[in-house]
């Protein structure tokens, strides 16, 4: 078993998934660039689902990437990766559709075209998403 610490919370997850172990190690070590790489490389966020199954609080403060929450980060990265099926339940769980990532100032609507996700962009607009320059 692997113990994850974030702020004052500690969770335990099964340690048999190499991707989960790498993500957990990045979280524990505060290696934000590596965590960003992992989330971008695995935009369907299987690890996030494993952490949630283990009891992690997705809307807890103190996000590991910039000033969002794990829920917000997961939603942004799902949109960045063009993963509608991953983004939709995170939006339904309360992610801010217009949150601008502090590292590049892009909203999920701005990030979606990076992966050629035109249909996802249309869906985001239908849900009220705005581009960063739209205020």
Q: pLDDT value at position 10?
A: 41
The answer to whether the pTM exceeds 0.95 is: no
Q: pLDDT value at position 8?
A: 31
The phi and psi torsions of 9 (rounded to 5 degrees) equal -95, 145
Mean pLDDT by 10 residues, the chain (135 residues): 36 60 74 75 62 58 58 87 90 92 90 90 96 81
Q: pLDDT value at position 61?
A: 56
- Domains of the chain, CATH where assigned: 2-134 (1.25.40.20)
Torsion angle of C-alpha atoms 56, 62, 64, 68, degrees rounded to 10: 100
**H or E stretch at 3:** strand 2-6
Q: pLDDT value at position 38?
A: 77
The phi and psi torsions of 69 (rounded to 5 degrees) equal -125, 165
Structure tokens at 16: 């048999």
Query: Rounded to an integer, what distance in angstroms lies between the CA atom of residue 15 and that of residue 19?
Result: 10
Structure tokens at 50: 């494993």
Q: Could you identify the residue written with the tokens 């705005």?
A: 130
Q: How far is CA 130 from CA 106, 123, 125, in A?
A: 10, 12, 7
Q: pLDDT value at position 11?
A: 42
Q: pLDDT value at position 6?
A: 39
Radius of gyration of the chain (CA): 14
């Amino acid at each position: 078993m692997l113990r994850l610490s974030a702020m004052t919370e500690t969770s335990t997850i099964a340690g048999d998934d190499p991707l989960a172990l790498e993500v957990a190690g990045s979280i524990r070590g505060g290696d934000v660039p590596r965590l960003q790489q992992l989330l971008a490389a695995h935009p369907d966020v299987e690890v996030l689902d494993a952490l949630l199954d283990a009891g992690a609080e997705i809307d807890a403060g103190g996000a590991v990437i910039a000033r969002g929450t794990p829920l917000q980060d997961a939603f942004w990265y799902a949109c960045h990766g063009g993963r509608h099926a991953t983004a939709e339940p995170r939006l339904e769980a309360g992610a801010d559709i217009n949150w601008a990532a502090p590292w590049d100032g892009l909203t999920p609507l701005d990030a979606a075209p990076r992966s050629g996700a035109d249909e996802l962009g249309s869906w985001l607009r239908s849900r009220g998403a705005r581009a960063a320059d739209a205020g």
